[in-house]
Chain A
């Protein structure tokens, strides 16, 4: 008998990659994009202006960074929220999967689409 295949390891991989990225660089990212750049602390006032943000987003490496951070952070959060809601017996598992993995998949696709729409 063939062992039953599961796609759970795939979600686990995305969860782990996002978790490692958030653990290594998450604090710096929150400080940089959420505190230092908007408040102008330690960074020039035009650091994240339209022109520079657009140039970063149009660069292939910038696109890769943005897609990696945004999509992996969504998948990381989705796995944690899904498992916690499952343990809480918060509802039907298919509904919970759609609300977590489904939303993460949708938002990842939206991120990729936006990055392509913004162009090179």
Chain B
């Protein structure tokens, strides 16, 4: 039996904190923000189930400056998620052929990112209209 010693390229333990991998790590970290936002909504659901007093405490916590700062960070992360999501999208889906030519990836990213912006703005407009006094 021959002794095999395959070459293993040395890799520092903190490779994920160094460029170029840092960009991927930051993108993946937006997943933490998305899950955290889900947890904030779930906490609200728990308080709603517990009753009016618990729900009032939840609303008071959400109105605090701390909560505003956290949601500012969450918003930045979710926007970064959306931007990177549509950068990846053309690489993960089949090519779109228009007039015998493949639609260039940057064009697809631009169109889908603009579509996402319209979706978010439309949702805010709808809720403001719906919630008007």
> With the chains together, A52 CA to B79 CA distance in Å?
28
Query: Which residue in chain A gives the minimum CB-CB distance to B84?
Result: A23
CB 8 Å contact bits of B24-40 with A (1 = contact, 0 = none) = 01001111111111111
CB contact under 8 A between A80 and B30, given known A35-B75, A110-B42, A111-B45: yes
B22 on interface, CB distance cutoff 8 Å: no
Q: How many A residues, CB 8 Å from partner?
A: 55
Those of A1-49 within 8 Å (CB) of chain B: 18-20, 22-39, 42-44, 47-49
- Contact indicator A24/B119 (Cβ below 8 Å): yes
> With the chains together, A28 CA to B37 CA distance in Å?
12
Those of A33-89 within 8 Å (CB) of chain B: 33-39, 42-44, 47-50, 53-54, 57, 66, 69-71, 73-74, 76-81, 83-84, 87-88
Contacts of B59 in A (CB 8 A): 38, 48-49
Pair count A-B, CB < 8 A: 161
Query: Which residue in chain A gives the minimum CB-CB distance to B123?
Result: A28
> With the chains together, A27 CA to B15 CA distance in Å?
30
- Contact indicator B42/A22 (Cβ below 8 Å): no
- Contact indicator B119/A34 (Cβ below 8 Å): no
Contacts of A66 in B (CB 8 A): 41, 45
Chain A residues within 8 Å of B, Cβ to Cβ: 18-20, 22-39, 42-44, 47-50, 53-54, 57, 66, 69-71, 73-74, 76-81, 83-84, 87-88, 104, 107, 110-111, 114-115, 117-118
